[in-house]
Amino acid sequence: MNFLQSYWFKIPWWSLRKVTYIVLLALLGSLLIGITILVLYMNSLPSLSSWHTKVLKNEFTAVSDIKDFTAYRALEKTLFKELNQEIYKKISHKEVNAISRYTSNSISDPKRWNQAWNQSFELPVKNPKMGVLLLHGMSDSPYSLHTQAKYLQEQGVWVVALRMPGHGTIPSGLVNLQWQDMAAVVKLGMAHLSNTLPEKPIHIMGYSTGAPLALHYTLLALEDSNLTLPSSLIFYSPAIGVSKAAPLAIWQSRLGHLFSLPKLEWNSIAPEFDPFKYNSFAVNAGDQVYRLCNTVQKQLDHYSQQTDTKPFPPILSFASIIDSTVSTPATINKLYKRLEKGDHQLVLFDINHNFSDNHFVKKTLNTSLDILRKTPSDINYTFDLISNIHSKNRMLHQVRNGKDKTNLKISWNKHLHSLSHLSLPISPLDPLYGSQKAPKSPGIQLGHLAIYGETSVLQISAASLLRQRWNPFHDYTKQRVLTFMNLD
């Protein structure tokens, strides 16, 4: 210690000043470089439009004075009148675009469709066998599950499809959205169905973020007798886990808010040509999914520690083995492996091995996917892998719990290498998202959109054009749903 003290006092003061000066210059230089990079990055982003910045005043939140589903739909009608007045009627000349959903009479104008699919809807039936509540995903709308709504209604099911707060209107609704707002609407929907159909079974069907919302409600209902416990849960592309980087993303949004840089509040700013889904995605939206998933995991922790709980309702899930939006391994490890033994079913669609055999698929990816294919047989749920691995043609087979193999009379389309997060609930006959065999769309058609040229020309990313939008195995999933609900 004495040595250090003596050494310290031998350093000339002018040297200390020089070192301090150099450090300050380095910090200042780094700050200037950082600011320059930020400015260049901000300038490279597309400009924000009115639908990115306008805040609609009549949107529902968890603290709104809305007591039931009827009042929610009344508020929703007021909200869409505000949308028409503040966006459609006030759109600037430079924002008018023939493919923008916010340009009246464009090919993407939702009003071209014969039903307001961006709004909540109800499909009543005479002498209903049961009820089902449909929950769409983040940035989507009730349209995403409208095919399921129709075929369930045909089977005598009373259907209610909810529009989640912040959805179906303008992307800015995702900037301040809280997952609790969506959870509050789920309670309204379930209360409405249980009051409409007393003593009838009520099921919940959820797509993407609709899955953790359904789980959150179910775990509450398992402990609260005032809430109606769903008879079963059915999921498409369930968002049980998201990217590990999700907790960090919110800081981008906070910096944008702090420094009045609204572009930083967005993960993507894109043209809005989809009538029933936002293409732009707010950072906050991803953060809310992350927070909701964490909350569900804590609820499952609590549920597993209880000794006198009710049995968990059966769950049927459809997932793609590869999903760029949510984590498929999380569906297995953070949901199905945590369930007690029951009539739970997981249907996992493999990639098309005609592509993997021809070395189109990344080797590292194929290795990680192989882990998902090999699920232990001593599990508390039924695991069905739908695959054409080791098949001599494109025909698929179902491998149950890694042992029992059943040939299926379905096959991959020639140029399709896998399903996607978006495609699981969508029928090939969907006029908007379906195949070339689908009925003519009243507006834009996105399911078989083919645009060729240089990659740097379009505002639309090449990735969004390549992504599969419809499920060629929709009839198979439909039959699984009907069987699961005892409707076949």
Residue 150's pLDDT is what? 98
Burial group, residue 126, by CB count within 10 angstroms (0-12, 13-18, 19+): exposed
Which residues are 233's β-sheet partners? 204, 315
Could you give the CA distance from residue 35 to residue 18 in angstroms, rounded to a whole number? Answer: 26
Could you give the CA distance from residue 300 to residue 241 in angstroms, rounded to a whole number? Answer: 14
Q: With 90 as the cut, is the pLDDT of residue 28 above it?
A: no
Residue 42's pLDDT is what? 61
- What number of other Cβ atoms are within 10 A of residue 453's Cβ? 7
16-29 burial, b at 16+ Cβ within 10 Å, e below that, comes to eeeeeeeeeeeeee
Min mean pLDDT across 127-131, 204-208, 254-258, 479-483 is at 254-258
Could you give the CA distance from residue 64 to residue 58 in angstroms, rounded to a whole number? Answer: 10
Q: If we measure between CA atoms, which residue out of 188, 233, 197, 191 comes closest to residue 212?
A: 233
Q: Is residue 133 very low, low, confident or very high in pLDDT (cuts 50, 70, 90)?
A: very high
Residue 309's pLDDT is what? 84
Q: With 60 as the cut, is the pLDDT of residue 6 above it?
A: no
The 8-class DSSP code of residue 408 comes to: E
250-278 burial, b at 16+ Cβ within 10 Å, e below that, comes to bebbeebeeeebbbbbbbebbbbbbbbbb
> What's the mean pLDDT in 144-148?
98
> What's the mean pLDDT in 416-436?
96
The single-letter code of the amino acid at 362 is K
- What is each CA distance from 249 to 243, 281, 282, in whole angstroms? 10, 12, 10
Q: With 80 as the cut, is the pLDDT of residue 76 above it?
A: yes
Q: Is residue 243 very low, low, confident or very high in pLDDT (cuts 50, 70, 90)?
A: confident
Q: Which residue has the higher pLDDT, 368 or 407?
A: 407
**Cβ atoms 136, 144 nearer than 8 A:** yes
Burial group, residue 168, by CB count within 10 angstroms (0-12, 13-18, 19+): buried
Q: Is residue 116 very low, low, confident or very high in pLDDT (cuts 50, 70, 90)?
A: very high
Q: If we measure between CA atoms, which residue out of 240, 263, 239 comes closest to residue 252?
A: 263
Residue 288 sits at the vertex; the CA angle it makes with 282 and 292, to the nearest 5 degrees, is 155
> What's the mean pLDDT in 261-282?
92
Express as a percent the part of the chain with pLDDT over 90: 70
Q: Which residue has the higher pLDDT, 420 or 450?
A: 420
> What's the mean pLDDT in 337-365?
83
Domain range summary for the chain, segments of one domain joined by +: 50-484
The single-letter code of the amino acid at 300 is L
Q: If we measure between CA atoms, which residue out of 488, 460, 369 comes closest to residue 419?
A: 369
Q: With 90 as the cut, is the pLDDT of residue 459 above it?
A: no
Residue 448's pLDDT is what? 87
Match 């769409």 to its residue by tokens: 136
Q: Where does 103-161 have alpha helices with state H?
A: 146-154
Q: Is residue 83 very low, low, confident or very high in pLDDT (cuts 50, 70, 90)?
A: very high
Could you give the CA distance from residue 321 to residue 344 in angstroms, rounded to a whole number? Answer: 18
Residue 90 sits at the vertex; the CA angle it makes with 170 and 56, to the nearest 5 degrees, is 35
The 8-class DSSP code of residue 343 comes to: S
Residue 39's pLDDT is what? 60
Q: Is residue 35 very low, low, confident or very high in pLDDT (cuts 50, 70, 90)?
A: low
Q: With 80 as the cut, is the pLDDT of residue 361 above it?
A: no
The pTM of this model reads 0.91
Q: Is residue 142 very low, low, confident or very high in pLDDT (cuts 50, 70, 90)?
A: very high
DSSP string, 155-192: TTEEEEEEPPTT-SS-GGGGTS--HHHHHHHHHHHHHH
Residue 43's pLDDT is what? 61
Burial group, residue 305, by CB count within 10 angstroms (0-12, 13-18, 19+): exposed
Q: Which residue has the higher pLDDT, 91 or 375?
A: 91
> What's the mean pLDDT in 467-475?
96
Residue 261's pLDDT is what? 76
Burial group, residue 470, by CB count within 10 angstroms (0-12, 13-18, 19+): buried
Task: Write down the mean pLDDT value for the chain.
Answer: 90
| 372-424 pLDDT tens trace | 888 776 689 999 999 998 887 778 999 999 888 899 999 998 889 899 999 99
**Cβ atoms 301, 338 nearer than 8 A:** no
Q: Is residue 21 very low, low, confident or very high in pLDDT (cuts 50, 70, 90)?
A: confident
- Kindly state which CATH superfamily the domain 50-484 is placed in: Alpha/Beta hydrolase fold, catalytic domain (3.40.50.1820)
